Every structure is written in C-alpha cells, then in structure tokens.
Amino acid sequence: MPFVSLMIAKSDLPENQTKDLIEAITRLMTEVMNKRPERVTVQISTADPQKWAVGRKTVADMDRCAVRMQIEVTEGTNTLCEKEDMVAQATKALDDILGIELEATYIVISEVPGVSWGKGGLMLADRTKADREEARRKA
C-alpha cells in the first residue's frame, strides 16, 4: 500500500502518456499523500470509450477521455486536507496529460484497515516490524 488503479476510457494510450501518468501519480502520492515512492504501486488499464457513458452520452461522443482513479491507502494515514489536495492535484495532472472530461472522471480514495491487507506475503503489522528491524540493522 498505497495502490493506485486507473481505468481510462480511451481507445489508445500512447507509451509517453503511460509513463507521464506513472511519474505524476507517484510524485503526487509522495508529495501530497506523504507515501514512500518505492512503495507506490500504479496500475493502468483502458476501457472502450463506446462502453463508458455519463448522462446517456458515451465518452466516445465527447472530445475528451474519462478516468476512474482508485487510490487505496492504509486507514488513518492521511488527513482530510491531504485527500482534498490529492483529488484536486490528481485531477489537474490527469487533465494536463490526457485531457479529461471532468463530469466523467472520478477519483476515489479508499482507506483500508491496517489489519486487512498484506504485501509480499506479509501482513502490514509483520511488514512494519520487518521495516523496524531492517532500520536497526542499518543504524
């Protein structure tokens, strides 16, 4: 954790936009949400813009693309202000990189209880303990 998943309603996502998105999201998660960049995971997939609609109008009929960004973080690790800033700055980054339709783009920040997730085969509590032990070895 953190894990950021983007579903983008766009026929083609050029490699340069993919790289720009990964860089921008990782930077925002680091600077705004105070996450360690080496722990930020970003997953990007695309959806057929003919099959994504808002108000009965498909994204294919709009001049721009649409995005659903799902951000998962450990519960209690971010303030409301940080989350508000993340939504605002991520929306701007998405628009700068992709040109988004604001009414068809959603950013959802989900807080997952620390006792409910693991990574690399370890639950959060075990991973935190391993991080402390590694820090002690380096000190």
For the chain, domains (ranges, CATH) are 3-138 (3.30.429.10)
More confident residue, 125 or 59: 59
Q: Specify the pTM.
A: 0.86
Q: How far apart are CA 84 and CA 92, in angstroms?
A: 13
User: Is residue 92 a contact partner of residue 30, using CB atoms and an 8 Å limit?
Assistant: no
Mean pLDDT score across all residues of the chain: 92
Q: What is the pLDDT of residues 3-49, one digit of tens each?
A: 999 999 998 899 999 999 999 999 999 999 999 999 999 999 999 99
User: Is residue 72 a contact partner of residue 116, using CB atoms and an 8 Å limit?
Assistant: no
Average pLDDT over residues 105-130: 85
Q: How far apart are CA 69 and CA 62, in angstroms?
A: 19
pLDDT of residue 134: 79
Give pairs for 113-117: CB < 8 Å, separation 24+: 113/74, 113/75, 114/74, 114/75, 114/76, 117/1, 117/74
